[in-house]
Structure 1
Amino acid sequence: MNTNILVVDDDIHIRKLIRLYLENSQFTVTEACDGREALKLLAEKQIDLAIVDVMMPHVDGIELTEDIKSFMSIPILMVTAKGESKDKVKGFTAGTDDYLVKPFDPVELVLRVKALLKRYNVSSEKRVKLGSVVIDVEGLLVHSNNHTLYLKKKECELLFVLAGSPGKIYTRTQLIEKIWGYDYEGDERTVDVHIKRLREQLSLFPELTITTVRGLGYRLEELSS
């Protein structure tokens, strides 16, 4: 099955350059000149990843990213002329998975696209089952025979990663890279905040325990019932 990449940029020359390199790497490319057209295409076509420019008319890249992430789970690579940290933070807060500043090396862009697709494909299996507990990352829920718990997106993704390898220790850096993207410039303590909230909510499922490994990170332990 072909991988279809949506390229959203109001600069036709940038779109053509990205298309050239992506098609040379055997990707299918769909183009949109602004966020409004992109949303229309997303409703009509199967899109596997979006490359989104920030500065666009009608619907800008930040708003478009928020819109996409609100109704579908595809990786987004944000491309922008702005390189300041505050703009990167805006992008990651909106939900982008990676960030590239213009002028960029098209070869690097292709490599980042492949890395994002690989990261998402690793979790293309959308459910993890531990004993009687199922973690459904697409439905953003955890359920067992007795309880159903709905989680926020990042909380569910974090639990999904930990549950994918019970007993494995993940450092904060590894969790940031897997869930927020390796260019994330926020505080690593955001992981601690999400872990704290998860622990409180997982009281419904005593067989799942997230433990802190001092000086290393976190792991999920599956306790026998």
Structure 2
Amino acid sequence: MASLFKEQINILVVDDEQSIVDFIKMGLEAEGYTVHTAFDGYEAIKAVQEINPHVVILDIMLPGMSGYEVCSQIKKLTKAAIIMLTAKDEVDDLVKGLSLGADDYMSKPFSFKELIARIEVRLKSTFPELSETNTMGNFSIDDGAHEISYNGNILDLPPTQYNLLRYLLLNRGLVISKSTILENVWGYDFNGDENIVEVYVRYLRDKIGDKDHNIIKTVRGVGYKVVI
């Protein structure tokens, strides 16, 4: 089974503190995940039914319905991994959360890097298929490791080169314009010259030995197309 990529992984963040929700959402989206939010237990249950998330980051102290109750309800609806957040760090809280089906537990304040690490562990444990590589011809993409291999060898790709090659591979067979590539790889707010795409395509061709442009083809006046 081919793996999902991060943007296909849904994470639900449930907390009644706007600042905490915004902080987690911004960080997870920067990592490439698709993030949904809820600010109370009832909203969280509704969101779970609608999006069927892979991971739920759930605060214990919620208005109306406690995080414990929400945890119990979510486990009846989905196999999502639940990471509980609380300002408390007492053993009884941890035991109660885990007994209701929570998969992990973090006390506020917490390190965002630690949260990312725990999310990745939970994804691999609960959805082992996500850790598989996506193979396309002689290429394979390991989104978790942020690596692309060609003919069995891991390519040395800085972040932008990785993102560009990944984008081209995922859209293999399609002709993609420079402007579309810029929007999806560099971002909508990029204000530089679109000819930078040519420079980075040249880097990629050098990395994969595509001197005759048989893999990354130039479609004159239109853009680029990957053929594998």
TM range (shorter): 0.5 to 0.7
Shift of 1:123: 6.9
Moved over 2 A (4+): none
Other structure's SS at 1:19 match: helix
Residue 121 of structure 1 is aligned with which of 123, 127, 138? 127
Match of 2:12 in 1: 6
Cα contact 1:5–1:28 (8 A) shared by 2: yes
1:74 and 2:74 aligned: no
Once the two structures are aligned, what percentage of the paired residues are identical? 40
Q: Deviations over 1:1-58 (max 9, x none)?
A: 5101000000000001101111111101000001110111112223111000000001
Matches within 5 A, 1:172-191: none
Match of 1:37 in 2: 43
- How many residues are treated as equivalent by the alignment? 124
Q: Structure 2: 5+ residue runs without aligned partners?
A: 131-228
Residue 98 of structure 1 is aligned with which of 98, 104, 108? 104
Instruction: Tell me the distance in 2 between the aligned counterparts of 1:30 and 1:36.
Output: 14
Instruction: Tell me the distance in 2 between the aligned counterparts of 1:62 and 1:46.
Output: 19
Other structure's SS at 2:84 match: strand
> C-alpha root-mean-square deviation of aligned residues, in Å?
1.3
Cα contact 2:52–2:80 (8 A) shared by 1: no
Q: Structure 1: 5+ residue runs without aligned partners?
A: 125-225
Match of 1:89 in 2: 95
Instruction: Tell me the distance in 1 between the aligned counterparts of 2:90 and 2:101.
Output: 17
Q: Deviations over 1:66-98 (max 9, x none)?
A: 001122211000011110000101100111000
Match of 1:111 in 2: 117
Matches within 5 A, 1:197-216: none
Cα contact 2:89–2:107 (8 A) shared by 1: yes
Residue 57 of structure 1 is aligned with which of 54, 63, 75? 63
Question: When the two structures are superposed, what TM-score results if normalisation uses the length of structure 2?
Answer: 0.53
Larger radius of gyration: 2
